[in-house]
Chains A and B, each alone.
Chain A
Amino acid sequence: MTTLTVNGIETTLDVPPRTHLADALRETLGLTGTHLGCEHGVCGACTVELDGSPARACIAFAAACAGAVVRTIEGFEYDSVMAELRAAFTAHHALQCGYCTPGMLITARDIVLRIPGADEARVRRELAGNLCRCTGYQGIVDAILAVLAARRG
Chain B
Amino acid sequence: MKAAAFDLVRPRTVADALAALADGARPLAGGQSLGPMLNFRLATPERLADIRTLAALRAHAETDDTITWGAAVTHAEVEDGRVPDPTGGTLRAIAGHIAYRAVRNRGTVGGSLAHADPAADWISALTALGGSVRIAGPEGEREEALTGWMSGAFATQLAEGELLLSVTIPRPRPGARLAYRKLCRKEGEFAMAIAAVLDDPARAIRRVVVGATDGAPIIAEGADAGPRAHAAIDAWPGEAWKARLLHVSLDRALGDIAA
Is B59 interfacial (CB-CB < 8 Å)?
A: no
A contact patch SS: mixed
Contacts of A130 in B (CB 8 A): 100
B28 x A128 contact (CB < 8 A): no
Interface bracket on B: 20 to 34
> If A18-B4, A40-B40 touch, does A64 touch B101 (CB 8 Å cutoff)?
no
Is A148 interfacial (CB-CB < 8 Å)?
A: no
Number of interface residues of A (CB under 8 A): 29
**Closest Cβ neighbor of B76 among chain A residues:** A53
**Closest Cβ neighbor of A23 among chain B residues:** B2
Give B100 Cβ to nearest chain A Cβ, in Å.
2
Give A57 Cβ to nearest chain B Cβ, in Å.
10
How distant is the Cα of A39 from the Cα of B31 in the complex, in angstroms? Answer: 13
> If A58-B39, A61-B35, A64-B8 touch, does A18 touch B3 (CB 8 Å cutoff)?
yes
> If A55-B106, A64-B8 touch, does A129 touch B100 (CB 8 Å cutoff)?
yes
- Which one of B3, B7, B103 contacts A129 once the chains associate, using CB atoms below 8 Å? B103
Contacts of B7 in A (CB 8 A): 17
- Known contacts A18-B4, A126-B101, A128-B100; 10 further A-B pairs (Cβ under 8 A): A20-B2, A20-B39, A39-B36, A41-B32, A41-B35, A44-B100, A53-B102, A56-B102, A56-B103, A125-B187
Identify 22 residue pairs between A and B in the complex whose beta-carbon atoms are under 8 Å apart, listed by A's number: A17-B8, A18-B3, A18-B5, A20-B2, A40-B40, A41-B99, A44-B102, A47-B102, A53-B105, A54-B102, A56-B32, A56-B103, A58-B39, A59-B39, A60-B35, A66-B10, A107-B101, A110-B101, A128-B188, A129-B101, A129-B102, A130-B100
